[in-house]
Chains A and B, each alone.
Chain A
Amino acid sequence: EVQLVESGGGLVQPGRSLRLSCAASGFTFDDYAMHWVRQAPGKGLEWVSGISWSSGSIGYADSVKGRFTISRDNAKNSLYLQMNSLRAEDTALYYCAKSDCGADCLIDYWGQGTLVAVSS
C-alpha cells in the first residue's frame, strides 16, 4: 500500500524559512517522480513543484520559483521542499504526491498533507 507522510509544517513568520519532508513507503521510491501540491484554506489545488526519479528534471510554479527548492533522497525514500522567504500567501495545506512514472507524469497518490501558516 502506498503511504506518503508529510511533516515539517507549522507557524512561521513572514520572511522566514521552513523545510517540509515526505516519507514514502509501499512502492519503489526511486522509480517514480514526485510532486508537491498545496491548497490554501477554502481554495483550490495549486501545483507547487515536481521532481523526476533521478532529480534530473525539476519544475516550479511561477508563484514559488526562486524561493522554494524541491529535492529527494532516494536512499531514504524521502522528498523535501525547502521554502524560503515565506509570504502570507504561502499559507496552505501542503500535499506530497506520487507520480505514475519516472518523469513528467501525473499524480496517482496523495498524502494527507502538512499545514503551513505564515503569519506574524
Chain B
Amino acid sequence: QSALTQPASVSGSPGQSITISCTGTSSDVGSYNLVSWYRQHPGKAPKLMIYEGSKRPSGVSNRFSGSKSGNTASLTISGLQAEDEADYYCFSYVGSSTWVFGGGTKLTVL
C-alpha cells in the first residue's frame, strides 16, 4: 500500500489552468475506475471534487475535471480562482477492500 505519487506543489495565476497528476501502478489506479479527488482547505474536512476518474458531484463547479491514462490520473482546474487555493488529494481503490491516498498537492494561486 504505497501512497500514490502527486507533485508536492503547483501554482498558477487567476484565470489560468493547472493540472495535478496522481501516479499509481497497474494494481491500483491502472486497474480500477475508482479514483476520486478531494480538496481540503486549512483546518477543514476534505470535500469530494471528482469521482470515478472524471465525474463531478452535484454542486461542484465545471471548472474541475478529471481524467485517467494508464496508471496516472489527473485533475485539471480551469479559470483558477483564489478560493481554489488548497491541498488536493487523489484516492484510489487497491483491491481486497483496501484504498490509498496520494501524498497531496498544495495549490497556490499567485
Which residues of A pack against B, CB within 8 Å? 35, 37, 44-47, 50, 52, 57-62, 95, 100, 103-113
CB-based contact A45/B101 at 8 Å: yes
CB–CB B97/A47 < 8 A? no
On whether the beta carbons of B1 and A61 are closer than 8 Å, the reply is yes
Count of inter-chain pairs, beta carbons less than 8 A: 67
- Residues of chain B lying within 8 A (CB to CB) of residue A44: 3, 87, 89, 101-104
Binding site for A on B (CB under 8 A): 1, 3, 34, 36, 38, 40, 45-48, 51-52, 57, 87, 89, 91, 93, 96-104
Q: A46 CA to B38 CA in the complex, in Å?
A: 13
A35 to B93, CA, bound (A): 13
Measured CA separation A15–B32 after assembly (Å): 37
Task: List chain B residues, Cβ under 8 A from A52.
Answer: 97
Q: Chain B contact residues: over half helix, strand or loop, or mixed?
A: strand
* 24 residue pairs A–B, Cβ–Cβ below 8 Å: A35-B99, A44-B101, A44-B103, A45-B40, A45-B91, A45-B104, A47-B98, A47-B100, A47-B101, A58-B97, A59-B98, A59-B99, A61-B1, A62-B1, A95-B46, A100-B51, A104-B34, A104-B97, A106-B36, A106-B91, A107-B36, A107-B91, A109-B48, A110-B45
